[in-house]
Chains A and B, each alone.
Chain A
Amino acid sequence: MATVTFKGASRIYPRAKNPAVNELNLEIRDGEFIVLVGPSGCGKTTSLRMLAGLEPVDAGDIFIDERSVVRLPPRERDIAMVFQNYALYPHMDVAGNLGFALKIAKVKKSEIKTRVAEAAKILDLEDYLDRKPGQLSGGQRQRVAMGRAIVRQPRVFLMDEPLSNLDAKLRVATRSEIAALQRRLGVTTVYVTHDQVEAMTMGDRVAVMKDGVLQQVDVPSVLYDSPVNAFVAGFIGSPAMNLVEGTVGSEGVAIGSTVVAVPRALKDTAGTGKVTVGLRPESLELAGEGAGIPAVVNLVEELGAEAYIYARLAHHVDQATFAATPDFIVRVNPKSAPKSGSAVELHVKPDSMLLFDADSGARITAA
């Protein structure tokens, strides 16, 4: 078990214009389950491979415990990795796959056997030990890949989208199994996913990346309630936060022709002029006529316990940017959901609005 520290670690692929990972700073505590999340191509896999020793570190440093590992080959780092496509050895049976690392480490045969049996038991693989990976289902292969990591008893687990090849239902079930297993074993884990729901449900802390740059790292609730910028705000949460242009005036923030009041302290730092307004679907509610932002309902999504309406703000309807403007998503009570096509007015719940700088996207907070 160990701590992991990225100190300004960068990776620039040959002939690439921008770094795939740009000065990553991240301190991972002993036993922590940390999730790297971000859109495709943001450098998650590269960060993981740098830690694993499969990718060189072009600048900065990476420490496992207090020791810099950037000059160590993968086999000397004492880490285990679960690959996205599992990378099981096709010519070895399940037992061979699970025990391979121990065999290489010249562990005694009898001990390999016990440890493989132990891992197989934990992962419910006992009946498949003599099968080849080609004869297993996707879920079973995934478990073998996990098993290969846990028999090692390494200092750090790395997992690169280990669930992306499973169907939706199995994914949700396996999600909690992995989280529970990690908590039981207490091994420091870096987990990569592009699915923010996975990130939020599994991680002790979540690190959000974009274009090779770490945006924010914190516990899920802080990411949700206090994103540092518009990107994190829009990326975290499902359905996504509504981001719309607004203008700060003396009364508050104007969205279209509707002025929404903001706390004085916040308005003071915001100054005047254009801002990006962030509103979670649950920060909005339906209001009476003349009391909110006018909009037209495009679509109603009923999920049973709750319903979401996808509405087009009235002042967007005639704009040239119409096609590019996404629908506003509002959570409503399914019992009183409006019909699609109807005109509604949206009221912003007090103190629920987030403001971001219109250019940089940085969060504007009360001084």
Chain B
Amino acid sequence: MLARRYIYRVIGLLVLLLFVAFFGVPLLWLLLAPTKTDYQLAHQAPLAFGSLGTFIHTFNRVINYQGGLMLTWLKNSAIYSGGGTALALLAAIPAGYGLALTQFIGRRTLLAVTLVVMIMPATALVMPLFLEASAVNLVGTAWAVILPFAFFPFGVYLAYIYFSSTIPKDLLAAARIDGAGEWGVFLHVALPLARPIVALVAFFAFVGDWTNYYLPFVMTYTNSEYPVTVGLQILIGSAPIFSPTASGYAGSEIYRPDLAMATLIGALPILIIFLFAQRTLVKGMLAGATKG
């Protein structure tokens, strides 16, 4: 009996380890790659450690690439994602609240529509959005990226779930009786209680915007407008090893460790935000699991 349980445990552990290895090894590789030169990367063992000096050197190369283009891209990403997230929150939180806790004609239909557009692949909308943006002369401006980012049905759905599962209707009734109008009820009672879901929606929106590639790729034209994701593509394009024809500018060749470093730099802001917001996020994700 005891032996059997022991065996199950060992098997369970092995399975878990397998998964850890499967997903962990590539991450580890990515972290280690910038510590090596291009030659070392190609010839040493995959998980070998190069040197800290090389790591710093690679970092400087990437940051200074073409006079700090990487920083411009990061700044663009921050503007697009920040603006998109802010607008998405402004729309999604009140929308979720309205769908969950107020009564109006067409509520169910609107909820169904939200679900449908939520499961629709976002890339499917990029072309029509581009035509729309170009029709109103927004292409090439930050708005062409920010406004589509503001459309975030998943956030509406998350807010809807949160409001309908965690906020007792009597609480809103109490506020109405206490003299609050509908906006007062939302601002004074519902919103302060919705902090975890505001954080969660903001996080998902921000990550989605930050990592989005196709939309900004279509909506922006020049190096100085690109966000990090599109910039990475430019970097790959100017790496001789991946595209021998594109020679790039003299002296600014990009090598494979540089690409790994650029990827790390691009992902870092999200990691930092996650670490800071972790506790609130977990609260938001667990909301509704327990009462009160």
Closest chain A CB from B120 CB (angstroms): 32
A91: chain B residues at CB < 8 Å are 192-193
Residue of B nearest to A145 (CB): B174
CB distance from A323 to the nearest CB of B (A): 39
CA distance A238 to B188 in the complex (A): 45
Q: Does B180 contact A (CB under 8 A)?
A: yes
Q: Which of A46-88 contact B (CB under 8 A)?
A: 49, 52-54, 73-75, 77, 79-81, 83, 85, 87-88
Is A231 an interface position by the 8 A CB rule? no
Asked whether any CB of chain A lies closer than 8 Å to the CB of B189, the reply is yes
- A75 near B177 (CB under 8 angstroms)? yes
Nearest Cβ in chain A — how far from B65, in angstroms? 48
- Tell me how far the C-beta of B169 lies from the nearest C-beta in chain A, rounded to whole angstroms: 9
In the complex, the answer to whether A75 meets B179 with C-beta atoms within 8 Å is yes
Give CA–CA (A49, B174) in the complex, Å: 11
Flag whether A105 is at the interface (Cβ < 8 A).
yes
- Closest A residue to B184 by CB, please name it: A104
* Complex Cα spacing A81 to B172, Å: 12
> 1/0 per position for B165-187, CB-CB distance to A under 8 A?
00010110111111111001000
Chain A residues closer than 8 Å to B171, beta-carbon distance: 87, 89-90
Q: Which residues of B sit under 8 angstroms from A85, Cβ to Cβ? A: 168, 170
Asked if A73 and B193 sit within 8 Å, CB to CB, the answer is no
For the complex, count residues of A whose C-beta is within 8 A of B.
Answer: 25
Closest to B174 in A: A87
* A148-B178 in contact (CB<8A): yes
Beta-carbon contact of B177 and A52 below 8 Å: yes
Say whether, besides A89-B189, A91-B192, A100-B188, A74 and B176 are in contact (CB < 8 Å): yes
In the complex, chain B residues whose CB is within 8 Å of the CB of A77: 177
Known contacts: A87-B170, A87-B174. The answer to whether A101 contacts B189 by CB under 8 A is no
* A104/B170 in contact, CB under 8 A: no
The answer, yes or no, to whether A210 is at the interface (CB within 8 Å) is no
Q: In the complex, which residue of chain B has the Cβ closest to the Cβ of A54?
A: B173
Contacts of A87 in B (CB 8 A): 168, 170-171, 173-174
Residues of B within 8 A of A331 (CB): none
Q: How far is the CA of A79 from the CA of B176 in the complex (A)?
A: 11
Interface of B is mostly: helix
- Say yes or no for A44: interface residue by CB 8 A criterion: no
Indicate if the CB atoms of A80 and B189 lie closer than 8 Å.
Answer: no
A152 at the interface (CB under 8 A from B): yes
User: How close is B282's CB to chain A, nearest CB, in angstroms?
Assistant: 19
In the bound complex, CA of A9 to CA of B134 (Å): 58
Q: How far is the CA of A100 from the CA of B178 in the complex (A)?
A: 7
Q: Determine the distance from Cα of A4 to Cα of B189 in the docked complex, in whole angstroms.
A: 29
B178 touches A101 (CB 8 A): yes
Inside 8 A of B192's CB, which chain A residues have their CB? 91
Interface residue ranges of A269-323 to B (CB < 8 Å): none
Residue of A nearest to B192 (CB): A91
A54 touching B193 in the complex, CB below 8 Å, given contacts A85-B170, A87-B168? no
Q: How far is the CA of A85 from the CA of B178 in the complex (A)?
A: 16
Residue of A74, A104, A148 near B188 (CB, 8 A) is: A104
Partner of B178, one of A73, A134, A152: A152
The residues in B between 146 and 182 inclusive whose CB is less than 8 angstroms from any CB of A are: 168, 170-171, 173-181
In chain A, positions 124-158 with a C-beta closer than 8 Å to chain B are 134, 148, 152
With both beta carbons as reference points, the residue of chain A lying nearest to B193 in the complex is identified as A91
Q: Would you give the 0/1 interface string for B251-270, flagging 1 where the beta carbon is closer than 8 Å to chain A?
A: 00000000000000000000
- Contact A81 to B177, CB < 8 A, known contacts A87-B170, A87-B171, A89-B171: yes
A79, B177: Cα distance in complex, Å: 7
CB of A83 within 8 A of CB of B188, answer no
Residue of chain B at shortest CB distance from A49: B173
- Contact, CB under 8 Å: A83 / B181: no
A6 to chain B, nearest CB (A): 18
B residues in contact with A89, CB < 8 Å:
171, 174-175, 189
With both beta carbons as reference points, the residue of chain A lying nearest to B191 in the complex is identified as A91
Q: A85-B168, A87-B168 given as contacts; is B177 within 8 A of A74 (CB)?
A: yes
Beta-carbon nearest neighbor of A77 in chain B:
B177
Q: Which residues of B contact A80 (CB under 8 A)?
A: 177-178
Tell me the smallest distance from the CB of B194 to a CB of chain A, in Å. Answer: 10
Closest to B180 in A: A104
Residues of A within 8 Å of B178, CB to CB, are 75, 80, 100-101, 104, 148, 152
Q: Which residue of A lies closest to B195 (CB)?
A: A91
Closest Cβ of chain B: how far from A322's Cβ, in Å?
Answer: 44
Q: Mark contacts of A156-189 with chain B using CB atoms, 8 A cut-off: 1 yes-contact digit, 0 otherwise.
A: 0000000000000000000000000000000000
A134 to B181, CA, bound (A): 26
Identify which of A77, A81, A148 gathers the most chain B CB atoms within 10 Å of its CB: A81
B174 touching A75 by the CB < 8 A rule? no
Given A90-B193, A91-B193, A104-B188: A75 and B170 interface contact (C-beta under 8 Å): no
User: Shortest Cβ distance from A14 into chain B, in angstroms?
Assistant: 11
B284 CB, min distance to chain A CBs, angstroms: 15
Known contacts A54-B173, A100-B175; 7 additional CB pairs below 8 A are A75-B179, A77-B177, A85-B168, A87-B168, A90-B171, A104-B178, A104-B184
Interface residues of A (CB under 8 A from B): 49, 52-54, 73-75, 77, 79-81, 83, 85, 87-91, 100-101, 104-105, 134, 148, 152
Rank and list the top 10 A-B pairs by shortest CB-CB distance, nearest first.
Answer: A101-B178, A87-B170, A87-B174, A104-B179, A74-B176, A75-B179, A91-B192, A74-B177, A83-B170, A87-B171
Can you sample 6 A-B contacts with CB below 8 Å?
Answer: A74-B173, A87-B170, A104-B180, A104-B188, A148-B174, A152-B178
